[in-house]
């Protein structure tokens, strides 16, 4: 008897990530300045760039 493969119906829908709401200009500016301040203070307190990248998710241009 030929085997018949029946595709199991997916019962659970894959979750879609909700689309990020676009930032308002004020939110954008606040984030820019907050990030700038956080990085500056972290460096001044001895946090390395590598740590800022690995632990805090900041990215830096490769020079």
Partner 1 sequence: MVTSLQPYKTIIHNPFYYSFVTTSGVEYFCYFTPYKEYFPNYPTEVASKFYAFNLDLADKKAKQKGVDKRIADTVITIVGDFLNKKINAVVYICDPSDGKAKARFRKFKSWFDYYEHPSYQIIQITSDFEAGGMKLYTALLIHRKNKLKKELVEAYLNLTD
In this complex, which beta carbon is closest to partner 1, that of residue 32 or of residue 55? 32
In this complex, which beta carbon is closest to partner 1, that of residue 10 or of residue 17? 17
Asked if residues 47 and 60 have their Cβ atoms less than 8 Å apart, the reply is: no
In this complex, which beta carbon is closest to partner 1, that of residue 13 or of residue 21? 21
Query: What per-residue string of b and e applies to 17-46 under the rule 16 or more CB within 10 Å gives b?
Result: eeeeeeeeeeeeeeeeeeeeeebeebeeee
Residues that bind partner 1 (CB under 8 A): 22-23, 25-26, 28-30, 32-33, 35-37, 39-41, 43-44, 49-50, 53, 58-63
């Amino acid at each position: 008897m030929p085997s018949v493969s029946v595709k199991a119906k997916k019962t659970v829908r894959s979750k879609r990530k909700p689309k990020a709401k676009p930032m308002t200009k004020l939110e954008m500016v606040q984030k820019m300045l907050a990030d700038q301040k956080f990085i500056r203070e972290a460096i001044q307190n001895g946090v390395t760039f590598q740590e800022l990248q690995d632990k805090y998710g900041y990215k830096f241009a490769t020079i």
